[in-house]
Structure 1
Amino acid sequence: MLRKIEAKVLIVDDLPENLLALRSLIQSEDRTLFQASSADEALSLLLEHEFALAILDVKMPGMNGFELAELMRGTEKTKHIPIIFVSAVGRDMDYAFRGYESGAVDFLHKPLSPFEVRSKVSMFVDLYRHRKALSMQLEVVEAARREQEALLTELRETQAELQKAVKMRDVFMSIASHELRTPLNGLILDVQLRRLRLEQGRMDAFSADKLREMITRDERQIRSLSRLIDDMLDVSRIRTGKLSVRPEPGDLGVLAGNVVESLAAQFTSTGSHVDLQVDGPAPVMMDEFRIEQVLANLLTNALRYGDGKPVSVRVRTEGEKVRAEVRDQGIGISEADQRRVFEQFERVSSADAPQGLGLGLFISEQIVQAHGGRIELSSRLGEGSCFSVVLPRRS
């Protein structure tokens, strides 16, 4: 394996015969030799390649070997390359100290000893290969560690998602069973009461006025059940990516007027009323059934949490956007809860308001986003809320 690691050796000398002599001594199939006849040429090679060893002649015209070594030590790419100086000077200690201060790891003295040259070069090449092999092994270990950490993080996230899913399922079952039972119990009690009166022969309980009252009450309970079931079906469609949206040209102001008109009786029955303001045409591409569902949900919430005070609806164009605002003067939503209310099964706490499944705003936001729009919320506790449906303007 070590032999497969490429090792490059640089030899620098201004005399061609010295380069040839060094090359003949150290060339081998397991290493690649580069040579330079000047410090400038050597620097170009050093910046282009990664070398296991540099063998520098001390005395060269221009920049000498010591100066080249000092420059190498001051450069990030080359500061760790081992340097062997080749010198014709004897083993003078001052000369050696200067070489080591310049960054040398060893010296070769002329006349060169073939055995000494080959031994030292082989030693530094082997050290380089061992260091590279260790670095590669460390990289493999580090990559494995990162992969394990990523898998562990993924497992933790999956576990958290599963725990959240289980919790949501439990919450859903608890809320759904309670919310579905309320209208269903009403229907069951009415049916039982009618059967009892029939068995008692009390036909006066089925006069035209009382029958109309019974039918109205039954329709209200059935609508409540249908709404809860539709919400659950819509959540299932959203989760599977099968929410059906078929946009067609329409006017958001006209649609808002129709929704307000359809809910007017509910507002009147609670002693509240709704004001509608449409500032001119509001052309959009929309699935009218789905956007009506969104506006109806926002108006129903405004009625539910509006504290019996007037609710206002305003539709206007803003450049390339069309905005429909539903504003109430009720209990408001705290800043901390304003993102939460768009999540599944999340509801604003209110002692006086019916709770529901907590799916309306979640479904509404998904519908609006499917139209390329968004829902904005502005609210303060005790000062009411303003929900805005913002859709692209149809050109």
Structure 2
Amino acid sequence: MDNQMVNILLVDDREENLLALEAVLTSPNYRLIKAHSGSDALKCILREEFAVIIMDVQMPDMNGFETAKMIRKREKSKDVPIIFVTALSQTNENVMQGYSVGAIDYIIKPFDPTILKCKVNGFVSLFLNQKKVEEQAKIIIARTRELEEANQALKKNEEMLEALVIKRTDELTTINHKLLESEEKYRRLVEESPEAIILTKQSHEKPTFVNQTAVKLLKAASKEEVQNRSLFDYVHPEDHNKVRRIFLENREGHNIYECRILTLNEEILHVEVKSIPFDYQGEPCLHILVRDITELKQSREYMHQTEKLTVVGELAAGIAHEIRNPLTSLKGFTQLLGDKIDSNQDYMDIMITEIERINTIVSELLLLAKPRKLDFKELNIGIVLKKIITLMEAQANLYGVKIKCNDCEEIPSFIIHGEENKLKQVFINLLKNAIEAMQEGGEITISVQRREKDVEIKFIDGGSGIAPEVLSKIGQPFFTTKEKGTGLGLMVCYSIVESHQGKMDIDSKSGEGTTVSILLPLYQTKENEIEYTT
């Protein structure tokens, strides 16, 4: 699928512009299709499937905005990324109109060929990844259908088995002279059952009988080893109350429920339990059928997670017109000067690099120069961290870094009052710094602990660490140890944490890694919280 030919639609009413786009984007993996108007573009979209559309804004007959609106109305093309290319000034009005009709990005003419190619490559990668996800989804659907059919077959067998067992049990209680013969038949049937069968008196917690399937399920060496323990020794502690309540309610009729069990080798299994009350020799008993559904639950969870893999990236649209407009002119003329034979290319490269640096600084300064009122809500800090871990794992893998995450499903419910997107920005920034600091790869550990009325989040990396003289300057604007950094990233992090009435500290030693601690006030906590370390 990586070498699959993909279609890219180029829309412009001027042939010379189409030729320029074609020259920049020519690739053995791209099939470039040209349209000279909005109407031509709509016809092309009816015939072909496109990974990305690059379209001029100003066109006769139907402009780019009108064409984009028509594209978004069609089911086949409603999700295709659209990049507008325009020679007009990028005003807020034009930008908002473009994004309102479904644009993903704006590129101002004259454009940087490298930037255009990188953006198109990114959208093509998203398109190919989406195709992979769709293929995987089809496989999962087919597998799920097979599992459901198998499950139906098991249920039918279960009903037949249940009817047989009850029938045999009634025979044992009513026909004494055939007791030995019936018991032998019953035991053979029960022992060979694909499900674990347990018999117990309602007044006792220890089983009076278990079949061989139950012995295997609980990873025991013998039936005696199972029968010498309480049934609740095999029930997961968090499910004790639920199972005890069902046991008490089980005197009048049968129940079907799911719970977790602990095997003797401490393996956790998900099971479906069917308990049926009956009388044996005048004493109330329970007939319990246990079916292992661990694999089925894992398959369902995997399918559920796969459905969430379709992630749409959003590009920031804030533009500082007063600075970026002249920067565009400076960059363009500098690049033109760089093409002259007698120009000093080293000087030109330095000028281009510094212009890009100014542009980056402006982007980060906007976060501090235009503060807005934060929309605070109740947040589960554990859920926010799990989302960030999932988001950053791919980038960490590229650097050979593993984000350590143990018992992810058991994150305590630490509730704070804050804005989710701002806190995500802090956590992403800190994880990126930790990943980039570990040039040789390694492990990043995240820990969450309660500190009286606060919650403490730690990001611990095994990187090269920070010297004391450098550590004292971390967080100051424009101070950075990165070659292309601005020094504003950590300053923004400090600002966001302070706006949440929190505190951020950095502890580091050269050659021993870095620990960043964030302390945030708890808004609401549940009782009996436990320490959680990912």
TM-score by length of 2: 0.29
> More strand per residue: 1 or 2?
2
> More helix per residue: 1 or 2?
1
Considering Cα pairs closer than 8 Å and 6+ residues apart, tell me whether 1 or 2 has the greater RCO: 1
